Amino acid sequence: MSVTGKYFINSSVQVDFLGQCNSERVQDTYYSSTGGQADFTKGVRLSQAGKGIICLYSTAKNDSISTIVPVLHAGSPVSTTKNDIDTIVTEYGAAQLKGKTVFERTEALINIAHPKFRDELRQQAIDMGYLEAEKLFAATV
């Protein structure tokens, strides 16, 4: 038996430009175990037309750290894969990721990052080859 048209919502502590979620580790310290992440991903995969939504704050540690990052912190586990996420939500909006290219995912995630980190994240994405500066300039003109 399968469930149809359900939204599966969970939280995370960090998401990278690809949409991979780390819900267990904050920098060098384990913060939590996987909790319901495994059930969350199974629900998304096994339900007909299920939607995986991850919610997180855009910053941590009194707004000093962005939770949207180019790559997950070294040693952090991928609690939820990019293939199980349809949407990432912060207090700055929602980034629809399903079916998007790396460029589109990266740009969507930067757009829901805390505004004080967006320029830095955009430059890191350009340096990584995830965004092209020329296309970004053309899109803003």
CA gap 41, 62 in Å, rounded: 30
Domain boundaries, the chain: 7-140
Residues 116, 58 contacting (CB under 8 angstroms): no
Per-residue pLDDT of 47-103, as tens digits, reads 888 888 999 999 998 999 999 999 999 989 998 889 888 999 999 999 999 999 999
Q: Write down the pTM of the prediction.
A: 0.86
> For 7-140, CATH number?
3.40.1080.20
pLDDT band, residue 32 (cuts 50/70/90): confident
